[in-house]
Every structure is written in structure tokens, then in C-alpha cells.
Structure 1
Amino acid sequence: MDLMCCEAESLKRAYEDPVLLKDDRVLHNLLATEDKYQPSASYFKCVQSDIKPYMRKMVAEWMLEVCEEQQCEEEVFPLAMNYIDRFMSVVDIPRTRLQLLGAVSMFLASKLKETNPLTAEKLVVYTDNSVTLEDLMTMELLVLNKLKWDLSAITPHDFLEQILSRIPMETDLRNSIKRHAQIFIALCSKDCKFMMYPPSMIAAGSLGAAAHGLLKSSSHKLLGNLHQILGIDIDCLRSCQEQIEQTLASNLSNVDNNMQETNSSKTDYHSNRDHIEGQPTTPTDVQDIVF
């Protein structure tokens, strides 16, 4: 009779610890420490001589698609973007190294958050083999050195359960709001204008936008709850929520336009399908930014 180990058949997830959620000291420590991991919102002007905001967005979209395709934990992508922004706040890099930085940031974030982290070999394939394993390992040491090996950065995800556990609502509604808020956090991580907001405000704004979209009612009461929990000015919370909603509307508009363009070019797609399927899996052609 063969001996079989069934533990690997299903990935085990950690559950939320109610002791940590009920202890106000945890939330207070998160609020007191989050500024430590804030990148400079002006690094495009003060540090970077070659990288532009649209390049960061292109790499962010590629990274998000990789994380989604590999079914990474929700925290991996925002944490990886935090590494990128903190690194580029202190080191001037050429645009040809930006995708390598993105791959390394995902590599480090997945090691910290994933039970089965992304492998270096898989990330090399996702770059269309534009980087080597040696490049990845060398860049990893550089990033670790510049971040002073401090990788446990606070992200908006750290605040979601802390906030939701303090607002009375039905379990199904809470889970639905949380899922939508996680999507909004990913959108904020892609857009450099949200770098000026601390993680707690992005988390609160994402929850407010999610509740407003799901409940189709005024979010004034929720903003009041968020103000009491986090101590953030209501006007600031409302401004952040409105920017998130505008970003969502803009992304949905872009998706509609892309779908129309895709439908109008179906013939071209099918004529080139064999050529496309023969190429390595690369979600987004990030190399376009080098031209």
C-alpha cells in the first residue's frame, strides 16, 4: 500500500486571531508605525531622472496580472509596490531596470506573505526572459540593502479586519465589503497619486467606497464610524473615498474601451493567434517602456 501525504492537496490559510482584533493596542501600534514605511511622494522629481509615473503604472499592471494569475495572497501586490516606491525614493534607476525591480519586489513580498512563494525561475519566465536568475539575485540583495532589510511594511490590508471587526454588520455583508475593498486597494497601489495617503486612510476610503457601491446609500454614518476608529478627519476620508471612486470609474471606462477595440479586431486576433500562442507567457509587454 502506497503512503500518501495529502497535506499539499489544499493550501492551509491562517484565520484571523480574535485576540489581536479585539486588542486596541494592535490598531494603535499600526497607526503609530505606518508613517515609517511611507515612500516619498515626490521621488519622480527629486530622485528619478529616467523613470516617469506612466512607467510605474505599466509595471504595476504587469505585476498585478502576475499576482492574479499565480493566485497570490491579496497582500502581496500592495506590499511589492511599497518596496518599489521605497526603493525608488532613495535610488535612481534607469527604465531598463524597472521590470527587474518589479519582479524582485514580488519575489520578496511573496516570500513574506505566501505559504508557497513565487519562484525565481517563474518570475524570469514572466519577464519574457529579459532578465536572468543572476540579475534577479543581485537586484534582490540591492533592494534588501536599501530597504535596510525592513520588509514588514504596513499596508492598507493590515487595517481592513481591524476596522471591520469594530463595525457591527452581518457576516455576509462584511465579507462582501472586504472583497470589494481589496480590489480598490489594488487600484490605489497602481496609481501614484495615492502615495500621499497613509495606508490607514486608503483602507478606510476603500471600505467607504465599497459600502457606498454595495448599499447604494449615504456613507455618512460609516465615515463617522471610520473617524472614531482611526481618528482621521471626516473631510479627508471623504476626499480619499471620492478619489477612489473616480479611479474605479476611470478604470471601468478603460475596460469598456478595450473590450470594444478587442471586438472590432477579432479577425486580426484569429489571424495572428498561432503566432501569439507560441510566445512565452508575459501578461503585459513592459519592455515597451524602454523605447
Structure 2
Amino acid sequence: MNTDQGLVTLISDMDLMCAESEAPRRAYEDPVLIQDNRVLQNLLDLEDRYMPNPAYFKCVQTDIKRYMRKMVATWMLEVCDEQRCEEEVFPLSMNYLDRFLSVKNISRTSLQLLGAACMLIASKLKETIPISAEKLVTYTDHSISFNLLMEMELLLLSKLKWDLSAVTPQDFLEQILSRLSLEKEQTKVIKKHAQTFIALCATDCKFMIYPPSMIAAGSVGAAVHGLSNIPYLDVKLLQRLHEITGIEMDVLRGCQEQIEQTLANNLSNMAQPVEQSTKMEHSSSSSSSSHHTNTQHEHFKEQPTTPTDVQDIRF
């Protein structure tokens, strides 16, 4: 091979390596870890250690309210979704946030800063390419600074005592699904729906009282129940979930029903603004449509870069 051919080959190899390095790397599922009962038992033994105090709104916090947590959680979920984070990042971020608020009293003006720090640490732990601190500052519409985010990160790590490998419902999902008698395609569909339910539970304060294993099992049950094309009886499923997790069937059924009710409430709340918008469109005259379009365009141009405007909680 002459010098020119060798140079071409070297450049081609370098291009290939660069292209491979830009793509996020995903670890293969290890069947030994997923199907080994010792792993599942270790998760069940450790989950109580990482549960927050569900009464921290009364016992610890003097300025933070439940609706404020809901607003920040929704913002965090949208950031994780827009950044295409791994499914584990958001539940882990919320675990950090709740555990921090269980031991440290802060003002409402620092809540979004705390949420950004939680996402920063969780993405470092779970992502191949973590969310950058600069990008998180941008998502807050620059209501926080880089230095403040770094200070909050250190405070968060200190209050969590650097114990970051928390057990979340996401950790139980593969353990549960691998032990159900389902086909591969059915498992994929159920997993996708269950991950949505897990994220929904993480945004709602009332699910803080449930251990991660129960939320994961309830999410799987709700996913199967909502998919009528999967021939799997609810009673048999609850029995199997009981055998896997050791949680009583009545408790599992109650958790599943609460998840389904929370989903229904959220869908209802989302439908109301759409109905109101439709009524307003019908009531407006056609002669003002051009003015309305221009005004609407100007309104969107003025929207902040933050996906959800959580700065209202600062007042």
C-alpha cells in the first residue's frame, strides 16, 4: 500500500471513529443481572433507605408548598424530555429533590435552582453525555447563574451525603417485566407505558408514600390494564406481581387504581384549555383573524426559553 492509499485509509478510519464517538453509547441488558433473584432482593432491601419523608412540607419546609413542587417537577420533566435523557434521569432527579427537601429548609426562590442541580447530578450518573450546566442555566431563562448552580450542586451532594445511587421505580421495571410471561413486543409496549406512569407518579406528591417497587408494579399493572389487546387477566397479573415484589394484592390494586385516576385527572386538565381555546376561536370574527395571527406570532416570540414558566412561584 502506497503513501496516498495509507493516508486515505487513515482519514476514513478517523471519520468513522469520530462518528462513533458522537453517538450515545447504550449498555446491553445483562440477563444475569435482570433475572438473578439476588439482585431483585437487594433492591427490595435497599429501597426504604432512599425514600424521602412525605411529611416534609409540614415538618421541614416553611415556604415550599405542594403546588410549587408540582410546577418544578413538570418543568424538570419537560427539560429531560427535550434533552432526550435516559428514562432513569427524571425519577432519580426527583428522588434527590425530595430527599434534600426532607432535611433542608429552603425558600421558594431556590426551588428551581435545586431542581436544576438535581438534573445535573442525575444526568452525570445516568447519561453518556450529561446535560451541561450552561444549558440548564438557559432553561431557567437565566434566572440562576452558573456559580449559583455549582454552589447548589455541592450543597445537594453534602445533604445527600454523596449517596447518589438511589433505588427508583425504574430499577424495578426490568426486574418485573422479565418475570412476566409476555412476548417481546408486548413487553416493549408495556415498558413504554409503564415508564410514562412512573414519570407521572414522580410529579405527584401523593406517591411519595409508596416504595419504588410498588410504584413500578402499579405502573406495570396500569399499563397492562390500559392495553386491551394484550390477553392477560388482571387477577393473574396482580397475583404474579405479588409473587415478584411480596406486596399484598389489595395494596397493589389500590396503587394501580390511584395511578389510573391520576392519569385520568391529568388528561382532563389538559383537555380543558383545548376546549376553551376552541370556543374562543369560534366566537372570534373572521375579519379579525389576520390581526389575531400577528398578535399570536408576537406572543410566541416573547416566550422564555424555559419550557414551563416556574418563576411564578417566586412571588
Alignment of 1:184-195 (within 5 A): 184-195=197-208
Distance 2:303 2:21 in 1: 31
Q: Give the aligned partner of residue 235 of structure 2.
A: 220
Whether contact under 8 Å (1:50, 1:93) holds in the other structure is: yes
Q: Give the aligned partner of residue 24 of structure 1.
A: 37
1:153, distance to aligned residue in structure 2 (A)? 0.3
Among 254, 266, 271, the alignment partner of 1:251 is: 266
**Mean alpha-carbon deviation: is it higher for 277-286 or for 260-269?**
260-269
Deviations 1:40-94 (A, max 9, x none): 0100000000000000000000000000001000110010000000000000100
**Mean alpha-carbon deviation: is it higher for 68-77 or for 274-283?**
274-283
Whether contact under 8 Å (1:125, 1:280) holds in the other structure is: no
The reply to whether residue 64 of structure 1 matches residue 77 of structure 2 is yes
The reply to whether residue 179 of structure 1 matches residue 203 of structure 2 is no
The reply to whether residue 128 of structure 1 matches residue 152 of structure 2 is no
Q: Give the aligned partner of residue 148 of structure 1.
A: 161
1:9, distance to aligned residue in structure 2 (A)? 4.4
1:179, distance to aligned residue in structure 2 (A)? 0.4
Q: Give the aligned partner of residue 229 of structure 1.
A: 244
1:231, distance to aligned residue in structure 2 (A)? 0.5
1:264, distance to aligned residue in structure 2 (A)? 4.7
Distance 1:257 1:170 in 2: 38
Q: Give every structure 1 segment of 4 or more consecutive aligned residues whose post-TM-superposition deviation is greater than 6 Å.
A: none
1:168, distance to aligned residue in structure 2 (A)? 1.2
Identity over aligned residues, as a percent? 64
Whether contact under 8 Å (1:177, 1:210) holds in the other structure is: yes
Distance 1:261 1:126 in 2: 28
Amino acid at match of 1:153: A
Shift of the 118–264 alpha-carbon distance from structure 1 to 2, 3 Å rule, reads farther
1:22, distance to aligned residue in structure 2 (A)? 1.9
Q: Give the aligned partner of residue 217 of structure 2.
A: 204
Deviations 1:122-157 (A, max 9, x none): 000000000000000000000000000001000000
**Mean alpha-carbon deviation: is it higher for 278-287 or for 200-209?**
278-287
Query: What secondary structure is seen at the aligned counterpart in 1 of 2:224?
Result: helix
1:265, distance to aligned residue in structure 2 (A)? 5.5
Shift of the 262–110 alpha-carbon distance from structure 1 to 2, 3 Å rule, reads farther
Structure 2, unaligned runs of 5 or more: 1-7, 282-288
Alignment of 1:108-127 (within 5 A): 108-127=121-140
Amino acid at match of 1:277: K
1:102, distance to aligned residue in structure 2 (A)? 0.4
Distance 2:19 2:126 in 1: 23
Q: Give the aligned partner of residue 261 of structure 1.
A: 276
Deviations 1:181-209 (A, max 9, x none): 00000000000000000000000000000
Query: What secondary structure is seen at the aligned counterpart in 2 of 1:73?
Result: coil
Amino acid at match of 1:226: L
The TM-score with structure 1 as length reference comes to 0.96
Q: Give the aligned partner of residue 81 of structure 1.
A: 94
Query: What secondary structure is seen at the aligned counterpart in 2 of 1:72?
Result: coil
Q: Give the aligned partner of residue 281 of structure 1.
A: 305
The TM-score with structure 2 as length reference comes to 0.89
Deviations 1:213-269 (A, max 9, x none): 003774111000000011100010000000000000001111111222344566657
1:290, distance to aligned residue in structure 2 (A)? 1.4
